[in-house]
Amino acid sequence: MRLITFAVVLLLAATTVAQTKPAPNASPTKKATSTATVNWKAIHQSAIIVDTHADTTGRFLDEHFDPSNDAGFGHWDLARAKKGNLGAEFFSIWVDPEKFKGQYVQRAMDMIDSVYQTVAKHPNEMVMAYSAEDIRKARTGPHKRIAALIGLEGGHPIEGDMGLLRDYYRLGVRYMTLTWSNSLDWAQSSGDYKKDENGKIIDPGMTDYGRKIVMEMNRLGMIVDISHVSDRTFYNALTASRAPVIASHSSARALTDVPRNMTDDMLKALARNNGVVQVNFNCGFISNKYNQQSKQFAQDHPESIQKLHELEKQYDEGKIDENQLQSYQRQLQSQVPRPPMSDLIDHIDHIAKVAGVEHVGIGSDFDGVDCLPEGIDSVADLPKITEALAKRGYTAKQLDMILGGNLLRVFADVEKTARQIQAETNKDTREVVPIPPAKP
């Protein structure tokens, strides 16, 4: 997604209904937390580190950003990725549902092309990847390259058409987030809940056609991503999917009570599915305190929020550039303290405890958010996460799993399931979502 603005963080804060206790520091290994028990630097350097969500794609396309240059206030460039020993990045294809209404496919194609063009400019540093094995090959041998993969954030760019879904797969899309913050004809999002006359959330979940989309993704070998979906859509997707699913950039609702995060019951269900939750680094998803402070700032400074809305409108109309908008966003952001990095580690730790260490990874949301926890300023800071987890007692094997091994396992399982389905029938469908009748 485009950078989450201060106003959106405030909206997330408004949905926070409870302050919950942080997860205890003890890791699943129950070892002492005062000193690292493993050589975390060596583990970090040897691991295949997979980040499942970066919005740098928008910079590639709209700013003509070349990652061989310094990212500036951004989070991702080649030098920083190498410093962080990043092994693979899923670049997000996020199409703004309002700004590009009627142009979803064209915008998605332009973004996909920008990833290919960027990789083509840097063949010694990057390589396109389409499978778990491609990622491993990119990180094997003396000359390691960053594996670049593509994830479609939100199902709206398929426009309800199975043929387009298959076309995206042919173009390299290897996961699709079923919804973004906008609901679709076939799936409810967590971002636009409606309420009945009694104030109860209405959550229709996923339609039969939505289940068929999930089944077709299984057949293709495209990973089903349940970040952004409503709770009922999540359970519907698990029921429909024969393959493990992922949450490409979500955190734990028990620690930070926002709809985008996953409840403990959801974490346990995803573990039974053998999937993986890739923890989001966004301040608004990892800290209740941050959300409360943001909400208070907005209440105390309505004129600042109004100015932000005006600048956002000017940006959308092309009257100001992104640097001007981001400058003001950063000015507002500095008024609310960033949460400590320990809050992020708490989320990884909590998910490891509830779902199992086999079911947690990292999905940063780099270049998609304007607030990261203290100490995490870019992809270069990934080693700090490894160090912090090691200090909590995680073993070398567990660290390797969290950094990328779990995602690689799920990716390979999705591919295996696809081969099984194709061997059974190889059927597909060319149905599209029926157009609803016109309102009288």
Which phi and psi angles does 147 have, rounded to 5°?
-80, 125
0.85 cut: is pTM over it? yes
Q: Give the residue ranges of DSSP H helices in 174-258.
A: 208-220, 231-240
How far is 133 from 216, CA to CA, in rounded Å? 22
- Cα–Cα–Cα angle for 308, 309, 314, rounded to 5 degrees: 95
Which phi and psi angles does 272 have, rounded to 5°?
-65, -30
CB atoms within 10 A of CB 230: 26
Residue 301 Cα distances to 10, 15, 114, 154, 353, angstroms: 12, 19, 39, 33, 40
Structure tokens at 224: 């089903």
Strand 276-279 relative to strand 201-202: parallel, antiparallel, unpaired? Answer: unpaired
Which residues face 194 on adjacent strands?
202
Nearest Cα neighbor of 222 from 193, 252, 253, 244 is: 244
CATH superfamily for 6-424 is Metal-dependent hydrolases (3.20.20.140)
* Residue 440 pLDDT: 54
Structure tokens at 44: 């970090």
**pLDDT tens, 26-45?**
445 444 444 447 999 999 99
How far is 433 from 9, CA to CA, in rounded Å? 33
How far is 256 from 284, CA to CA, in rounded Å? 8
Amino acid at 69: N
Nearest Cα neighbor of 279 from 341, 236, 223 is: 341
How far is 210 from 208, CA to CA, in rounded Å? 5
Amino acid at 237: A
* Residue 326 pLDDT: 77
How far is 155 from 145, CA to CA, in rounded Å? 30
Sole residue written with tokens 């208070």: 296
* Residue 313 pLDDT: 86
Evaluate whether 152 touches 200 at the Cβ level (below 8 Å): no
Evaluate whether 86 touches 385 at the Cβ level (below 8 Å): no
> What tens-digit pLDDT sequence spans the chain (440 residues)?
544 444 444 444 433 333 333 333 444 544 444 444 799 999 999 999 999 999 999 999 999 999 999 999 899 999 999 999 999 999 999 999 999 999 999 999 999 999 999 999 999 999 999 999 999 999 999 999 999 999 999 999 999 999 999 999 999 999 999 999 999 999 999 999 999 999 999 999 999 999 999 999 999 999 999 999 999 999 999 999 999 999 999 999 999 999 999 999 999 999 999 999 999 999 999 999 999 999 999 899 999 989 999 998 888 788 887 778 878 888 888 889 999 999 999 999 999 999 999 999 999 999 999 899 999 999 999 999 999 999 999 999 999 999 999 999 999 999 999 999 999 975 655 555 555 555 55
* Residue 361 pLDDT: 98
Nearest Cα neighbor of 278 from 403, 172, 389 is: 403
How far is 43 from 29, CA to CA, in rounded Å? 17
How far is 309 from 315, CA to CA, in rounded Å? 10
How far is 140 from 18, CA to CA, in rounded Å? 46
SS3 206: strand
Domain boundaries in the chain? Answer: 6-424
**pLDDT tens, 235-275?**
999 999 999 999 999 999 999 999 999 999 999 999 999 99
* Residue 68 pLDDT: 98
